[in-house]
């Protein structure tokens, strides 16, 4: 697309010289070096994202900001009109010129809905008004710029979906992605609404595959404390674990929002995952009574002389486990998290965004606190029952270890590990023991053991027959499939860099074909869910028949992967990007996090009709 240079209509050519002179009169040191012309301070561009959307963007020089409420737009040439501009939340600031305001630093992009009565491609002249200031110094006069924008042809389907009588205010009906809605919630500024909303969201996330494994981790820690565990001490240990986890999520999220670097992704390498899995295996073996997990007696005797040494040591180790759990066990990206990161990145307000993340993390930890509060009452303190409870949590810790190793091991190996876990559990449940006492509990325990053994055999058969889903071990294997399935699996073309992506999108647009780009990583639990449930759905596969499918595998998280993620301003997988048949990204239709098949199919129908 060719763009004509932007032309200044209301700023005299000597404005920069007059600003420098003004700075000198005000006594600013080295004014000649710090004063920039308006074109240098605010680098303006505008382009068509699609036939109904224009994105106006500014690159803002360092130490300079722009006012959110000073932007105005109008079309001075062209057969279109504009809807209500959609601007991201700004950072709250007080200055002497305009009082309390929202401002932007570094960069800002504003979406302009286009209302059209005709379909042909056309070039319009867009006029933009804006104003900004130098921090703790002078303000630039209001600026007016005109730029040409080439609008592509409007498809028939899209044209029919437009209400030609709509006014500018009708832009509120424009589709807004979930993450943008969450960002807008934070930008609303109602602190208690933010805290309550994100706490509730965290509570819902607590039962997702990314967070749920933390329950057996904490439970195993509490069981390992021994017979002296009291209710109050169990609750305090849980509170330390949850606070450490919440603070880690918050700090990692704020850093990701400010700098675009996902701290959690750095811990998703095979060495870190393997080391943490070995820790869980070691903890589980102590639960089975293979050894007593404690310090050497010489060191332990010295520590007993220090008051509360055991409690202090427990709190420190639990806090460390909470930090590591947040970084390694649950590095999932969901729409609420992405919304908070978008707000932090666009506004620079790490405090309000961090509060939202902290509230969400506390919601995620609420079930863990319930486990701690009940542990002292519900867990037996002595007798054979205690050994049985410890064995149960030992199995759960082994399950967490296998679940983590799934990220780095081939599917067949993972399935074999799951089958061995089921079979070992069956043995510990007494599936092959003779029951002398034929009481109800003994029968029930033996029946559970036999069921675990049978299922373990099914999982093992699935593994050796090419299966890959432990919840459906024989699905799609040679044991059940007698003929080729009618619905083929989705085939994604891998891409690595921005250049690869631009080439594929360009080729697809020449053929008039839309594109879907899926960001994937082996360590991403939600990515596996998308593959297993959503992409495997027959209706979803059918909807994607005429779509070019691209996949960016960011498992390595190297410089090229990070550059690709930063190009889209996203913070990790799973994230799905859509391009229309003209090669324009449909930014508002991005998908972040796991989405169920039916909902994803509806989402696809909306996009493909545009």
The CA distance from 58 to 41, in Å, is: 9
| Least reliable range by pLDDT among 357-366, 486-495, 598-607 | 486-495
Is 347 within 8 Å of 193 (Cβ atoms)?
no
Q: Please tell me which residue, 159 or 193, carries the higher pLDDT value.
A: 193
Question: Residue 179's pLDDT band (boundaries 50, 70, 90)?
Answer: confident
Q: Please tell me which residue, 172 or 338, carries the higher pLDDT value.
A: 338
Percent of the chain whose predicted confidence (pLDDT) is above 90: 13
Q: Which of 243, 256, 410, 263 has the alpha carbon at shortest distance from 330?
A: 263
Cis peptide before 248 (omega within 30 of 0): no
**pLDDT of 259 over the 80 cut:** no
- Most confident range (mean pLDDT) of 244-258, 395-409, 448-462, 560-574 is 448-462
Token representation of residue 261? 């670097």
Give the pLDDT of residue 375.
61
The CA distance from 555 to 561, in Å, is: 8
pTM score: 0.59
Continuous segment of H or E residues that includes residue 494? strand 493-495
Average pLDDT, the chain: 76
Question: Residue 540's pLDDT band (boundaries 50, 70, 90)?
Answer: very high
Give the pLDDT of residue 485.
47
Is 186 within 8 Å of 343 (Cβ atoms)?
yes
What pLDDT digit, counting tens, does each position of 98-147 carry? 777 888 998 899 989 888 766 678 889 999 999 999 887 888 889 999 99
- Determine the straight-line distance between the first and last CA of the chain, rounded to whole angstroms: 21
φ and ψ at residue 404, rounded to 5 degrees:
-70, -40
- Most confident range (mean pLDDT) of 116-130, 202-216, 274-288 is 116-130
Give the pLDDT of residue 248.
86
Residue 122, SS3 per DSSP: strand
Rg of the Cα trace of the chain?
Answer: 29
The CA distance from 250 to 267, in Å, is: 16
The CA distance from 128 to 333, in Å, is: 36
Continuous segment of H or E residues that includes residue 517? strand 515-520
The CA distance from 391 to 421, in Å, is: 13
Question: Residue 389's pLDDT band (boundaries 50, 70, 90)?
Answer: low
The CA distance from 155 to 138, in Å, is: 47
Torsion sign, CA atoms 503, 509, 511, 513: positive
Q: Which residues pair with 390 in a beta bridge?
A: none
**Cα 436 from chain centroid (whole Å):** 54
Residue 318, SS3 per DSSP: helix
Is 576 within 8 Å of 594 (Cβ atoms)?
no
Sheet containing strand 42-50, edge to edge, reads 42-50, 53-60, 107-116, 80-82
What pLDDT digit, counting tens, does each position of 294-316 carry? 544 444 444 344 333 444 447 78
Give the pLDDT of residue 577.
92
Give the pLDDT of residue 46.
92
Give the pLDDT of residue 357.
85
| Least reliable range by pLDDT among 80-94, 104-118, 255-269, 516-530 | 255-269
Residue 374, SS3 per DSSP: helix
**Beta-sheet pairing, 64-67 with 91-95:** unpaired
Cα–Cα distances in angstroms (integers) from residue 512 to residues 44, 151, 354, 508, in the given order: 30, 16, 43, 6
Cα–Cα distances in angstroms (integers) from residue 56 to residues 134, 147, 166, 274, in the given order: 21, 10, 22, 46
Token representation of residue 478? 């040679």
Question: Residue 551's pLDDT band (boundaries 50, 70, 90)?
Answer: very high
Continuous segment of H or E residues that includes residue 359? helix 350-378
Is 529 within 8 Å of 407 (Cβ atoms)?
no
Q: Please tell me which residue, 472 or 76, carries the higher pLDDT value.
A: 76
| Non-local CB neighbours of 60 within 8 Å, separated by 6+ positions | 41, 42, 43, 66, 104, 105, 106, 107, 108, 132
CB atoms within 10 A of CB 478: 11
**pLDDT of 210 over the 60 cut:** yes
The CA distance from 397 to 453, in Å, is: 19
Hey, what long-range contacts does 444-453 have (CB within 8 A, 24 or more apart)?
Answer: 449/425, 450/426, 451/426, 452/422, 452/423, 452/425, 452/426, 453/422, 453/423, 453/426, 453/427
Percent of the chain whose predicted confidence (pLDDT) is above 70: 75
Give the pLDDT of residue 229.
67
CA angle, 536 then 538 then 539, to 5°: 120
């Amino acid at each position: 697309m060719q763009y004509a240079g932007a032309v200044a209509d209301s700023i005299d050519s000597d404005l920069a010289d007059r600003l420098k002179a003004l700075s000198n009169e005000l006594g600013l040191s080295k004014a000649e070096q710090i004063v920039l012309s308006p074109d240098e301070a605010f680098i303006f561009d505008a382009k068509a994202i699609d036939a109904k959307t224009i994105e106006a963007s500014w690159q803002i020089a360092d130490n300079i900001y722009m006012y959110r409420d000073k932007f105005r737009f109008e079309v001075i040439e062209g057969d279109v009109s504009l809807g209500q501009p959609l601007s991201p939340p700004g950072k709250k600031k007080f200055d002497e010129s305009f009082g309390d305001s929202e401002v932007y630093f570094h960069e800002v992009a504003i979406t302009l809905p286009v209302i059209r009565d005709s379909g042909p491609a056309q070039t319009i002249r867009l006029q933009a008004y804006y104003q900004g200031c130098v921090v703790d110094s002078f303000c630039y006069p209001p600026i007016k710029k005109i730029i040409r924008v080439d609008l592509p042809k409007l498809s028939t389907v899209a044209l029919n979906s437009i209400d030609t009588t709509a006014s500018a205010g009708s832009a509120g009906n424009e589709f807004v992605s979930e993450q943008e809605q969450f960002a807008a919630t934070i930008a609303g500024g109602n602190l208690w609404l933010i805290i309550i909303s994100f706490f509730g969201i965290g509570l819902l996330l607590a039962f997702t595959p990314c967070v749920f494994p933390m329950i057996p981790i904490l439970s195993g820690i509490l069981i390992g404390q021994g017979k002296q565990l009291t209710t109050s001490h169990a609750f305090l240990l849980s509170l330390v674990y949850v606070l450490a986890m919440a603070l880690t999520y918050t700090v990692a999220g704020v850093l990701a929002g400010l700098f675009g670097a996902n701290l959690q992704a750095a811990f998703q390498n095979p060495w870190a995952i393997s080391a943490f899995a070995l820790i869980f295996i070691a903890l589980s073996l102590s639960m089975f009574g293979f050894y007593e997990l404690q310090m050497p007696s010489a060191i332990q005797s010295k520590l007993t002389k220090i008051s509360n040494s055991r409690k202090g040591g427990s709190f420190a180790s639990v806090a460390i486990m909470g930090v590591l759990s947040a970084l390694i066990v649950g590095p999932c990206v969901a729409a609420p998290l992405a919304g908070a990161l978008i707000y932090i990145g666009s506004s620079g307000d790490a405090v309000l965004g961090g509060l939202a993340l902290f509230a969400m993390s506390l919601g995620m930890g609420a079930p863990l606190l319930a486990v701690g509060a009940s542990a002292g009452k519900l867990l037996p303190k002595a007798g054979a029952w205690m050994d049985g409870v410890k064995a149960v949590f030992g199995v759960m810790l082994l399950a967490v270890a296998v679940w983590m190793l799934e990220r780095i091991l081939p599917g067949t190996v993972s399935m074999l590990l799951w089958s061995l876990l089921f079979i070992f559990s069956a043995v510990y449940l007494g599936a092959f023991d003779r029951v002398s006492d034929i009481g109800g509990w003994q029968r029930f325990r033996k029946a559970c053991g036999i069921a675990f053994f049978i299922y373990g055999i099914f999982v093992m058969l699935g593994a050796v027959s090419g299966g890959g889903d432990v919840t459906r071990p024989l699905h799609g294997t040679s044991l059940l499939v007698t003929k080729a399935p009618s619905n083929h699996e989705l085939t994604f073309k891998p891409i690595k860099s921005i250049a690869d992506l631009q080439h594929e999108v360009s080729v697809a647009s020449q053929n008039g074909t839309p594109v879907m780009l899926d960001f994937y990583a082996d360590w991403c639990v939600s990515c596996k869910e998308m593959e297993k449930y959503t992409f495997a759905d027959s209706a979803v596969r059918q909807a994607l028949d005429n779509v070019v499918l691209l996949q960016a595998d960011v498992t390595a998280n190297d410089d090229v992967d990070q550059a690709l993620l930063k190009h889209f301003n996203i913070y990790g997988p799973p994230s799905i990007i859509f391009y229309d048949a003209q090669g324009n990204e449909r930014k508002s239709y991005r998908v972040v996090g796991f989405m169920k098949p039916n909902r994803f199919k509806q989402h696809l129908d909306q996009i493909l009709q545009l």
